[in-house]
Chain A
């Protein structure tokens, strides 16, 4: 079992709809959870981080964390074509390096 698992996609969502990206992790000691966005040919860009159970909202993005079920998700409301990218979930035990999932490729269709 991989430490951090994501559906590789591609995930296609119509413009204006909600895109839902999911991630599960195996290490119960994980403390920090991150979502990165990576456009083709570019390096990953941090878009959200979450440390506590529940929801965290930032603009059109909402991160959801459920430590009991060991999953973290990212919701993108009012999806735009510019949201088309690969989304990387990353998990970290306290003060340790990130463990990345393989990424989910998201395509927003106009």
Chain B
């Protein structure tokens, strides 16, 4: 069974400060890992994905995430927060084995950016 834990349901950062959103996963097989972003009243959009290639993954809007197998983590970072980054962020895991491609999402972390 696969699961995702996102530490912190709400994170606040100042504009220009580092953004760090934490995600730890549990998976019985090598996972695929994703970060999605949800803006108010919208669906989820893919930020970036890890599919067993490079462990440091770059996504859209200046975000990146690093897969650390030893720590079972896939934390999302951005060097400098922008007001437009305020949204809810979801980490997700998938076990692409035996034809199963279901995504399991974390509870989400709401990011606030303070001017």
A binds B: no
